[in-house]
């Protein structure tokens, strides 16, 4: 009986350890497609930080979230990727290159850019996605809360 209990405990510990390794080998990503314009309009309250950050270069008076998607990227490099089509028909390819201490290194291809970015919890980065309807499209990547 004791041997059976010890074996069950060992199997449980090994299962939990493998789940922890798997969790470290993937990352949850939230991708928001945002329309931005210098023409007066409304700013989605969740985009106030974006407006402040981008305001150093361009003063956007309109920021509207057009779509939002959450997905998980496995740690398989560029082969473990997800794609997002923007309203202007551009496609962003996002892949996880590595994950360490809660910081993901993402490879993002959004023509004409192909670059890697570090994405930590409670941080976002903004990628310009081209012109659309008299304004600009932005792809905002973050780890969901």
Kindly list the distances between the CA atom of residue 37 and the CA atoms of 1, 97, 116, 136, in Å, as whole numbers in the listed order: 70, 33, 27, 6
Q: Do the domain assignments include residue 19?
A: no
What gap in Å lies between CA 85 and CA 107, rounded to an integer?
Answer: 16
Q: Do the domain assignments include residue 128?
A: yes
Q: Do the domain assignments include residue 11?
A: no
Provide the number of structural domains found in the chain: 1
Give average pLDDT by consecutive 10-residue segment, the chain, 145 residues: 34 32 71 97 96 95 97 70 92 92 92 94 94 97 91
Tell me which residue range forms the domain holding 46: 26-142
Q: Do the domain assignments include residue 1?
A: no
3-state secondary structure of 34: strand
> Which residues contact residue 130 at a Cβ distance below 8 angstroms, ignoring those fewer than 6 apart?
86, 88, 90, 136, 137
Q: Do the domain assignments include residue 60?
A: yes
pLDDT value of residue 99 = 87
pLDDT value of residue 77 = 53
Q: Do the domain assignments include residue 49?
A: yes
pLDDT value of residue 18 = 29
Q: DSSP assignment of 80-102, as one string?
A: EEEEEE-TTS-EEEEEEEEEETT
Q: What is the pTM of this model?
A: 0.79
The helix or strand, by DSSP H or E, that contains position 140, with its residue range, turns out to be: strand 135-142
Q: Which residues pair with 49 in a beta bridge?
A: none
Q: In terms of DSSP H, where are the helices of 25-90? A: 48-54
The helix or strand, by DSSP H or E, that contains position 30, with its residue range, turns out to be: strand 26-37
Q: Do the domain assignments include residue 69?
A: yes
pLDDT value of residue 84 = 95
Q: Do the domain assignments include residue 105?
A: yes
């Amino acid at each position: 009986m004791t041997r059976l209990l010890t074996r069950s405990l060992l199997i449980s510990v090994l299962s939990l350890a493998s789940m922890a390794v798997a969790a470290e080998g993937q990352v949850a990503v939230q991708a928001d497609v945002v329309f931005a314009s210098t023409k007066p309009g409304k700013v989605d309250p969740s985009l106030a930080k974006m407006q402040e950050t981008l305001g150093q270069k361009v003063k956007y008076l309109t920021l509207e979230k057009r779509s939002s998607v959450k997905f998980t990227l496995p740690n398989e490099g560029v082969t473990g990727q997800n794609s997002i089509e923007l309203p202007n028909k551009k496609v962003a390819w996002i892949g996880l290159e590595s994950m360490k201490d809660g910081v993901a290194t993402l490879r993002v291809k959004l023509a004409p850019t192909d670059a890697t970015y570090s994405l930590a919890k409670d941080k976002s980065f903004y990628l310009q996605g081209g012109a659309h309807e008299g304004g600009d499209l932005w792809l905002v990547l973050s780890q969901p809360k």
